[in-house]
Structure 1
Amino acid sequence: MNSLYLPLADLVSISLLCLAVYYPRHRRRDLLVAFLGVNVGVLAVATALVNSDATLGLGLGLFGVLSIIRLRSLELGQHEVAYYFAALALGLLGGLGSLEVPLTVLLMAVLVAVIAVADSPRLLTRDHQQLVLLDGAYTDEAVLAAVLGESVGGEVRKVAVHKVDLVNDTTLVDVRWRSAEQPPLPEALSRSTSSVAPTAVGA
């Protein structure tokens, strides 16, 4: 009976990670299918390897090769790489069954919770990162930071120059900046906004 708990815990965990955390935030159906498929595939093969004469190291090595090929075949964001490996880890935890059931379930819950918190849109909302192509070739870092500050409308924290094209007069930079805090609404405006209520239109 205990052998059924871990696969069930894995399916619950990956469902929460994909359907309750990832998809509502990022809306990529293709990666949703990929995460679910990878997780269930790892779970099935890891379970089969544990109950067979094949060495577990062979199976883990195979999944390592497959994961590298998968990551190289499609450009993924760093947050999507985190979801991808979380799906792999959940499948391995559910399929290997090398730990006690309560500890395994706790590890699954911690993994899902860490990804959910780390990828929360409410975390570090003022910090941003973007690849910017500027109309101008800037070789002076101080001037470049000033121009970027005006362009992004915030405090530039770090600038990484990818390319300075002196022929076409452009600069490609990776900029990280912190946006200014939104000013609070005037008291009269906030009172009038909060007092507005929908009215019913009579026949």
Structure 2
Amino acid sequence: MKFYLPLLALGILFVSCGTTKSIIDKPIIFNKEREILTLEYLSKRYGLEKDTPEIIPKMIVLHWTVIPTLEKSFAAFNNPSLPNWRPDIKDVSGLNVSSQFMVDRDGTIYRLMPETTMARHVIGLNHCAIGVENVGGDKDQPLTKAQLKSNIWLVRYLADKYPIEYLIGHYEYTLFENHPLWLEKDDGYRTKKTDPGTAFMKKVRKNVIDLKFKELPK
């Protein structure tokens, strides 16, 4: 299955909303194993029976990796299956975590997966969400101004391409539990998140207010 055009690997420049930025393709492994695991995830967790792992993006979710380098962050996502996966445990998905994008600390934007292929990065909403991971994020390596600028640009780039309705931080995902977009079947499957921080989200939102995303559920 081919997901990438050869030219994209060269880091083609994109122009959106009056700014120019480069997106560099750095694909994680998306082989037959990952495709099968993704389709199983869509089926078991969301009740979606699909022939391909494609999504229609309606949401952008911003994250941090709390891993200090691009190389280590990439390595955490690269393998198709979770390193500690036990397939004998019922109803536990072995699909590794991932995201469509990763932003390094210098602001360089990497595309890890096609924008319309499902990545596992947010409970309940992966079927409609594009994930943006930011390298770092712990107290010793707070997110940078360069990352902030790149996130703002990337949000605009994606909103220009897709019918994006919501922009959220990972810590806000549970607000959607009673929303039509929420499809997680397991009421006990939740994790507490703080990424990418309230201050970071406030700054991103302030700079894309003109895009008029929908308000988050109360």
TM-score range, shorter chain: under 0.3
By percentage of residues, which structure has more helix? 1
Q: Name which structure has the greater RCO, CA cutoff 8 Å, separation 6+.
A: 2
Looking at CA atoms only, which structure, 1 or 2, has the larger radius of gyration? 1
